[in-house]
């Protein structure tokens, strides 16, 4: 049985202009100890779907799901009180900007031991000892001294290490990393990614990596889920995704990478991600798609089979060519 099962998760926000659907029928399953990556541009709903899972969305959000199961616990029916026992303990999350996600008014040591106190209890001395052990584990030099430091006294990379220490304090089964390295420099990014991979091995936890950086995905992930405008459009193993993307969006995104460019001009995706008011009727990607035909503008596609990477497309690409659609005349 898999560790995390999400089926048909939808998140809607109440806004002044009406309901906005940020996540639209996303399904996902993560096994014990697996490394899953969720890729997408801004507005693709990748962060929101994970925040919904963690129960961190404001009251304006309406969350519906057919199934939301973590480690055998049904999160849909669970009370908020019970959920808080799981969140931060078995399921933890780190965020994009370490500088803003740590509380500037408390020392690093306080913020680490707070998680331990809430979930595990134990004496003050054991908590402190564990905090030192954690800082050692995440590779922060002089951990005893750092416990008394405030976040502003540490650099961005060090703060992200502290965030990771807080997240793994209770030995979670699942760690969600939301763009953990976007705000960091490349050499520090490499350090933090290595740390996450190493910890995953050591602690045997599953890792969901949310990112927009195709390079990070290629170097770390095993399975990749691609999201666009709130929908999951494709899911494949990382090798197959880069070798043979099945959804036109994935394909276009990969060819927009500067390192894949042939010559000085990059192939581009015209237009932008649809917003609140310009959501097309049919396939959400149709207005920007190079392979779109009439049907795409009228009706949402069903999910294709595993051999086509579960692509949400009428004619999934195979080796860059749309699969022929029987009985349909292409315009």
Residue from 14, 19, 60, 155 touching another protein (CB under 8 A): that is 155
Map the footprint of another protein across residues 225-264, applying CB under 8 A: 238-239, 242-243, 252-254, 256-261, 264
**Contact status: 189 vs another protein (CB under 8 A):** yes
Q: How far is the CB of 64 from another protein (least distance, A)?
A: 28
Helix, strand, or coil (residue 70): strand
Which range touches another protein (CB under 8 A), out of 13-21, 77-85, 191-199, 299-307?
A: 191-199
**Which of 269, 289, 178, 274 has its CA nearest to residue 229?**
274
- Return the structure tokens found at 129: 């000892």
- DSSP structure string for 101-138: HS-TTS-HHHHHHHHHHHHT---HHHHHHHHHHHHHHT
14: helix, strand or coil:
strand
| Cβ nearer to another protein, comparing 122 with 287 | 287
| Stretch binding another protein (CB under 8 A), from 54-62, 104-112, 179-187, 309-317 | 179-187
CB atoms within 10 A of CB 205: 24
Give the nearer residue to another protein in terms of CB position, either 91 or 207.
Answer: 207
CB of 271 to another protein, least distance (A): 9
Determine the distance from the C-alpha atom of residue 142 to the mean position of all C-alpha atoms in its chain, rounded to a whole number.
32
Given a contact cutoff of 8 angstroms between Cβ atoms, the answer to whether 181 and 216 are in contact is yes
Q: Measured between alpha carbons, how far is 214 from 235 in angstroms, rounded to an integer?
A: 14
Helix axes 108-119, 124-137, angle to 10 degrees: 120
* Residue 106: CB minimum distance to another protein, A: 23
Distance of closest approach, residue 197 Cβ to another protein, in angstroms: 11
Separation of alpha carbons 235 and 101, rounded Å = 30
Residue in 82, 219, 278, 281 binding another protein, rule: CB under 8 A: 219
Instruction: Tell me the sheet residues that pair with 36.
Output: 208, 223
Counting contacts by CB under 8 A, is residue 188 touching another protein?
Answer: yes
Tokens representing residue 224 in the block: 């990749």
Whole-angstrom Cα distance, residue 97 to residue 181? 8
Q: By CB under 8 A, is residue 268 in contact with another protein?
A: yes
Structure tokens at 50: 């994970």
DSSP at 167:
H
- Choose the stretch contacting another protein; rule: CB under 8 A; options: 86-94, 185-193, 279-287, 295-303: 185-193
Check residue 149 for interaction with another protein (CB under 8 A): no
Q: How far is the CB of 41 from another protein (least distance, A)?
A: 4
16 makes contact with another protein (CB under 8 A): no
Smallest gap from Cβ 126 to another protein, in A, equals: 31
Residue from 129, 272, 290, 325 that binds another protein (CB under 8 A)? Answer: 272
129 sits near another protein (criterion: CB under 8 A): no
Binding site for another protein (CB under 8 A): 41-42, 155, 157-158, 185-191, 193-194, 212-219, 238-239, 242-243, 252-254, 256-261, 264-269, 272-273
């Amino acid at each position: 049985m898999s560790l995390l099962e999400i089926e048909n998760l939808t998140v809607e926000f109440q806004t002044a202009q009406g309901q906005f659907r940020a996540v639209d029928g996303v399904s996902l399953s993560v096994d014990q100890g697996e490394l899953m990556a969720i890729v997408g541009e801004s507005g693709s709903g990748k962060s929101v779907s994970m925040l919904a899972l963690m129960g961190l969305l404001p009251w304006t959000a309406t969350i519906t799901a057919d199934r939301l199961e973590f480690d055998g616990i049904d999160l849909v029916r669970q009370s908020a009180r019970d959920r808080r026992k799981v969140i931060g303990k078995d399921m933890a999350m780190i965020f994009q900007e370490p500088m803003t996600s740590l509380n500037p008014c408390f020392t690093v040591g306080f913020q680490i031991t707070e998680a331990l106190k809430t979930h595990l209890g134990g004496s003050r001395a054991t908590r402190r000892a564990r905090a030192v052990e954690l800082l050692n584990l995440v590779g922060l030099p002089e951990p005893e001294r750092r416990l008394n430091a405030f976040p502003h006294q540490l650099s961005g990379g060090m703060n992200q290490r502290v965030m990771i220490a807080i997240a793994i304090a209770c030995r979670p089964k699942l760690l969600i990393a939301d763009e953990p390295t976007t705000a960091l420099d490349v050499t520090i990014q490499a350090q933090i990614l290595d740390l996450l991979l190493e910890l995953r091995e050591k602690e045997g936890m599953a890792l969901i990596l949310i990112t927009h950086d195709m390079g990070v995905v290629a170097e770390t992930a095993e399975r990749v889920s691609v999201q666009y405008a709130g929908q999951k459009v494709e899911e494949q193993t990382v090798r197959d995704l880069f070798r043979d993307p099945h959804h036109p969006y994935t394909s276009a995104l990969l060819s927009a990478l500067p390192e894949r460019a042939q010559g000085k001009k990059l192939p581009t995706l015209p237009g932008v991600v649809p917003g609140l008011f310009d959501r097309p009727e049919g396939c959400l990607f149709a207005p920007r798609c190079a392979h779109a035909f009439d049907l795409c503008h009228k009706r949402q596609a069903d999910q294709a089979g595993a051999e086509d990477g579960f692509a949400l497309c009428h004619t999934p690409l195979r080796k860059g060519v749309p699969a022929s659609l029987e009985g349909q005349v292409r315009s």
